[in-house]
Amino acid sequence: MKDLKGKVALVTGGSRGIGAAIVRRLAGDGARVAFTYTRSEDKAEAVVESVRAAGGDALAIRADNRDPDAVRASVESTVAHFGRLDILVNSAGIFHTGDIGDFSLEDVQQTLDINVRAPFLATSAAAGHLPEGGRIITIGSNLAQRVPWPGISLYAMSKAALIGFTKGVARDLGPRGINVNVVHPGSTDTDMNPASGELADFQRDTMAIRRYSEPEEVAALVAWLAGPESRSVTGAELTTDNGSNA
């Protein structure tokens, strides 16, 4: 099935982890996919090559999500290269942990710049290009809904902001037939939070089904939201966390 054939997608933070899995899945479903990365050019090129090897088309765009001009420019570069934009996936994120009294102002600013301001700017820039049937999908976190252990107040705050943002933009763009949703992954096996890490068992203890998600499982949910079967779903939170928040 090539449900996304003829579509163009932009994925922020697509060079590794969940973002890279989303790039590969959307490309596998027929979309031409641009994605941003900040530093890891070798990883970005590896994603491009894997997509092309599978018969797809991908474009890597270096863009620091702390730079407002770079965020907006990534949207324009996608449209200039592929001629259109149908799907935006806000996937880039950062995760600072610590006691509430220990965060520096730089920690706070960096988290808000990347986790909140960048999705706002990318969405604002993309909105002018998206046609009827367009999709905006933002990667949140199950920690935006429930915080089961200390040390993640800053991260949880930033991801919770995306819930209200998603619902508001769904109302803004609904009259144009554009769907806007947020996906909340739980613990997912990536290099940032490996299933074999020292805190993995602690995280598994919070789950109804005691297993880490794979990035490809999150990507599958994003692909469904990007496809035609989800056209009645907007302003929604979809959680994929093996029941941690049950």
Note the pLDDT of residue 56: 97
Note the pLDDT of residue 51: 98
Q: Is 155 a catalytic residue?
A: yes
Domain boundaries, the chain: 8-240
Note the pLDDT of residue 2: 85
* SS3 assignment, position 216: helix
Q: Amino acid identity, residue 224?
A: W
Residues 90, 119: contact at Cβ < 8 Å?
yes
pLDDT band of 191, cuts 50, 70, 90: confident
Note the pLDDT of residue 30: 97
CA atoms within 13 A on the CB side of 186: 25
118-173 pLDDT, tens digit each? 999 999 999 999 999 999 999 999 999 999 999 999 999 999 999 999 999 999 99
Over 70: is that where the pLDDT of 116 sits?
A: yes
> Percent of the chain beyond pLDDT 70?
100
pLDDT band of 212, cuts 50, 70, 90: very high
163-184 pLDDT, tens digit each? 999 999 999 999 999 999 999 9
Take residue 164 and report the two structure tokens written for it.
Answer: 């209200």
CATH number for the segment(s) 8-240: 3.40.50.720
From 35, 37, 82, 155, the catalytic residue: 155
Separation of alpha carbons 212 and 80, rounded Å = 38
Note the pLDDT of residue 199: 87
Note the pLDDT of residue 192: 86
54-95 pLDDT, tens digit each? 999 999 999 999 999 999 999 999 999 999 999 999 999 999
**Burial (CB count within 10 angstroms: exposed 0-12, middle 13-18, buried 19+), residue 6:** exposed
Note the pLDDT of residue 1: 64
* SS3 assignment, position 174: helix
- Higher-scoring residue by pLDDT: 147, 191: 147
Separation of alpha carbons 156 and 134, rounded Å = 28
